[in-house]
Amino acid sequence: MEIEVVLGNIVDQQVDAIVNAANHTLMGGGGVDGAIHHAAGPRLSEACAELGGCDVGDAKATPGFDLPSRWVIHAVGPVWSGGSRGEAGALASAYRRSLEVADSLGAKSVAFPAISTGAFGFPEAEAARIAVETLRSTRSRVELARLVAFDHHNLRLLRREVARTARLSSTSAGQAASSSRIREDLVAAVRTVFSPKDAEDVLAWLRRLDSDRLQVAVVIGAMWRGKPAVSKIRAGVETALTDYRDVLMNEYDERIDYKAELKRLGLDRPYPVD
C-alpha cells in the first residue's frame, strides 16, 4: 500500500472512498464530520440514520452521494481522556476497520482525515504515529491511502511519520531473510536440550507469543534476567543465537518490557517441565 500525505480538504479528494471522522451517532457534527455531511447532501444523513450508530473503534459505510468519492467510510475514533482509557488502541482500530470496510467495498484508494484530533482532543503527534503505523501494519487490498492534513503543522507530523516508518520497513525487509533461520535455530536448541515430549511442550509454550521474532526476543530477554522459565535451555539458546542477538535486541530492547510481557502472557512462573 502506498501512503501519501497532502494538505487539503477531505471532501475534495478524488478517491474511491473518503473516511469521515464521525461520532457514535453517525448523524453529523462539527469539523470534518459536518463538512462531509454538508458536501454530500441530505441523503447522507438519511443513509446514516439506517445504520443505527457505530461503536468507538469501528467503521461503517454509506454511498458518497454528492461527493466526488463513491463511498464514505464513517470511522468513530475515541475522545481523548488522558491516554489511560484505551484511546490508542481505539484509534488504531478505527483506522484498521476503515481499511477492512474499504476492502469489503472494493475501494482501491482511500483518503483519511486526522481522526480524533479535532473536538475529540487526541494529541496530534501521537495520532499521526498511530495512523501511519496502523496503515503500514494492516493487510489490505487498498492500493493508496491518502492522509489529508488540515494545516501545515499536521502535514509535517504526518510526513515525519511516513518517512520514519518507511525507514523501519526497509530495515525490517533486510532482516526478514534471517528471521526464519533464527526460529529454526531456536527450535533446534530446544530440541537439543529437552526430551522429545518436553521439547514439543516447550515449543507449544513459545508459540503463545505474538510472533516468531518476538518469541526469540522474549526468551533472550528472560534468559538475560535469569528467569527460571528458560533456565534449562540457556546453554542451547546462547549457542544457537549468538550471531543474531544484536539484531534482535536492537529491534526489541526499547519496545518491550520483558518482565511485564512475561507477566501479561502468564509466563512469569517457571515452565513445568520437571
Q: What are the φ/ψ torsions at residue 103 (nearest 5 degrees)?
A: -60, -40
Give the separation between CA 6 and CA 111, rounded to whole angstroms. Answer: 10
DSSP 22: E
Q: Indicate if the alpha-carbon torsion angle 85, 89, 92, 97 is positive or negative.
A: negative
Q: How far does Cα 86 stand from its chain's mean position?
A: 14
Contact 54, 74 (CB under 8 A): yes
Question: Cα–Cα distance between 74 and 253 in angstroms, integer?
Answer: 37
Phi, psi (rounded to 5 degrees) for 106: 85, 15
* Residues annotated catalytic, as ranges: 33
Beta bridge partners of 20: 74
Q: What is the sign of the dihedral through the CA atoms of 236, 238, 244 and 250?
A: positive
Q: Enumerate the β-bridge partners of residue 112.
A: 147
Q: How far apart are the first and last CA of the chain?
A: 49
